[in-house]
Amino acid sequence: MSPVRVLLADDHVLVRAGLRKLIEIIPDMQVVGEANDGLDVINLVAQLQPDLVLMDISMPALNGLEATARIMKEWPQTRVLILSMHQNEEYVRQALRHGACAYMLKDAAPTELEWAIKTVLQGDTYLSPAVSKGVLSDYIHRLREQDQPVSPLTQRQREVLTLVAEGLSTKEIARRLDISIKTVDTHRSQLMKQLEIHEITGLVRYAMRAGLISPD
């Protein structure tokens, strides 16, 4: 039986070195390459045709979520296991939506990594316990929200929403768009009323769902 071919994707050399050591002690596993950014991942998947990619999210050039989507489109037989420091449920949903088979936190135990890999190779999905509880408890509400069509917004509303989601202050948004602070406040209030969203975190989730920002 041929060993499982694994590609490591993380922009931190020490993280990749640690992962390599962990993978190499698992029977029938072979690390065939390492990538330090999203574009490098795409190129190496094309060259090496790995069975499994251990993928970080926050990487230069192309983030791990975008790289995962590209891999699933071009090489759907390759499985992607997201290994990230981000515990936010939105990252998990985005990862699964883009085609990842598993989502693990970087502070997980080595034994959990081995179990997750075996689960994924059997064709199942794996979520770290730390994130699965939040995802499941939020599932019904989010499913209803995601099934609703994205409400049409004006170009100015989309601009304001994007900048709000990126974390800019009212004053910074006003300066960026060359409008008054009062106008920014008006747009934000109209957005919340139109979208029936009552908090900034809800606007951020909506912006991600609408493709205005990406979680990198």
**CA-to-CA distance for 73 and 126, rounded, in angstroms?**
21
Q: Does pLDDT of 139 surpass 60?
A: no
Identify the structural domains of the chain with CATH numbers, from first to last: 4-142 (3.40.50.2300), 155-209 (1.10.10.10)
* C-beta separation of 57 from 91 below 8 A: yes
Q: Does pLDDT of 55 surpass 80?
A: yes
Structure tokens at 198: 């009552």
* C-beta separation of 89 from 68 below 8 A: no
Give me the pLDDT at residue 133, please.
62
Q: Left (φ > 0), alpha (ψ -120 to 50) or beta: where does 105 sit?
A: beta
Helix (H) or strand (E) holding 162: helix 155-165
Q: Does pLDDT of 140 surpass 70?
A: no
Q: For 71-123, write each residue's pLDDT tens digit.
A: 999 999 999 999 988 877 778 888 888 899 999 988 888 888 888 998 888 88
Mean pLDDT across 159-186: 90
Average pLDDT, the chain: 85
Length of the chain, in residues = 216
Confidence of residue 67 (pLDDT cuts 50, 70, 90): very high
Residues forming a β-bridge with 9: 35, 55
